[in-house]
Amino acid sequence: KLYEDEYVLVVNKPPFINSNKDFPNVEEVLKRKNKDYTVVHRLDKQTSGALIVAKEKKIFESFKELFRKRKVKKVYLSLVAGNFKKKSGKVNVPLDGKPSKTLFRVLEEFNGTS
């Protein structure tokens, strides 16, 4: 658990566990602990990071609307093997068959890692 209040729980999703759907997933783990919570967004299975979980259906619906209206800004910090030729840029590569746009900026490079 990274954060919790009366409305949301924020958990650190480990890599290779699904956010929701497909087994095993974070929602299923919470349900086993008698928590009928709903994952607000998803992270790719291979990705670790903070995952927002709504404690009530109306909170989930509010977050869903914020994501739908693109009012949520997502920021990821990654460690990448290799060095980039450009220190910033944009990548347009579909993820799971859906359009995806990623803006990136290299913060630091060391020992063949960015």
The CA-based angle 6-16-110, given to 5 degrees, is: 100
Is residue 44 annotated as part of the catalytic site, yes or no? yes
Task: Write the DSSP symbol of residue 83.
Answer: -
Catalytic residue among 5, 36, 44, 96: 44
Count Cα neighbours of 74 within 13 Å in the Cβ-side half-sphere: 16
Catalytic residues: 44
